[in-house]
Chains A and B, each alone.
Chain A
Amino acid sequence: ETGVTQSPTHLIKTRGQQVTLRCSSQSGHNTVSWYQQALGQGPQFIFQYYREEENGRGNFPPRFSGLQFPNYSSELNVNALELDDSALYLCASSLGTLGSPLHFGNGTRLTVT
């Protein structure tokens, strides 16, 4: 079974730009969750998609948006980048039901200058 893959692994952007991060979920998983992990912090929940619909969102502004595709892969888009958006962005796939463990990719390291 293939695991969760994220691309790119590293990215440098300038303040005000837009970025798209991509995630391929583990086979058999229909739910994708995105997390932001700032340096020295725990992962913070951004949002979650189940079968192409957003079914949960954390305390992030609307400039953070996402998509899930029919093959359950997903994108995270961030508009109007700010310096504080610099972080490791983690994607996790799961079955989405209570008790289902998350399976994480290795993340995308975003640096905003």
Chain B
Amino acid sequence: AQSVTQPDIHITVSEGASLELRCNYSYGATPYLFWYVQSPGQGLQLLLKYFSGDTLVQGIKGFEAEFKRSQSSFNLRKPSVHWSDAAEYFCAVGTDIAGGYQKVTFGTGTKLQVIP
């Protein structure tokens, strides 16, 4: 069965510093990978997605993620964090359920705190 692991429950970075959030997935076939962000009391917003091609994908708000098949990882990065990036970040994998339909499984999330 598919699964997603986000090993860091909570990360604190200084504003302007670089950021990397870790994500590892488990799935036997080609994964469809997503990163979402959730602000308090809100739904989830898509940051970026990967399913083929260039292993470095660009997303909204200056985020990027790199797919590494050998490590089963899809880490999210940002060169310079802004205070408004404080939120919870979820990695997710889309997998095939009967007939070519997709089920999306989420990790447990990483809460990002940004300090001045």
Give the B-binding residues of A (Cβ under 8 A).
4, 31, 33, 35, 41-45, 48, 50, 55-56, 90, 92, 94, 96-107, 109
Q: Which of B69-116 contact A (CB under 8 A)?
A: 90, 94, 96-109
Would B51 and A43 count as touching, CB distance under 8 A? no
Q: CA separation between A90 and B103, bound complex, in Å?
A: 15
Would A50 and B106 count as touching, CB distance under 8 A? no
Q: Tell me the dominant secondary structure on chain A's binding face.
A: strand
Q: CA separation between A4 and B100, bound complex, in Å?
A: 23
Given A48-B103, A55-B97, A56-B101, are A98 and B32 neighbors across the interface (CB < 8 Å)?
Answer: yes
Would A42 and B106 count as touching, CB distance under 8 A? yes
Would A98 and B100 count as touching, CB distance under 8 A? yes
Question: Which residues of the other chain, B, contact A99 by a CB distance below 8 angstroms?
Answer: 32, 49, 51, 94, 102
Q: CA separation between A35 and B99, bound complex, in Å?
A: 21
CB-contact partner of B104 in A4, A33, A107, under 8 A: A33
Would A102 and B104 count as touching, CB distance under 8 A? yes
Minimum CB distance partner of B6 in chain A = A42
Would B43 and A104 count as touching, CB distance under 8 A? yes
Q: For this complex, into which size category does the number of interface residues on chain B fall?
A: 20 to 34
CB-contact partner of B41 in A41, A48, A106, under 8 A: A106
Q: CA separation between A33 and B43, bound complex, in Å?
A: 13
Would B49 and A101 count as touching, CB distance under 8 A? yes
Would B101 and A90 count as touching, CB distance under 8 A? no
Given A42-B106, A97-B100, A99-B32, are A104 and B90 neighbors across the interface (CB < 8 Å)?
Answer: no
Any A CB within 8 A of the CB of B46: yes
Question: Which residues of the other chain, A, contact B100 by a CB distance below 8 angstroms?
Answer: 97-98
Question: Which residues of the other chain, A, contact B49 by a CB distance below 8 angstroms?
Answer: 99, 101
CB distance from B20 to the nearest CB of A (A): 19
Minimum CB distance partner of B99 in chain A = A55
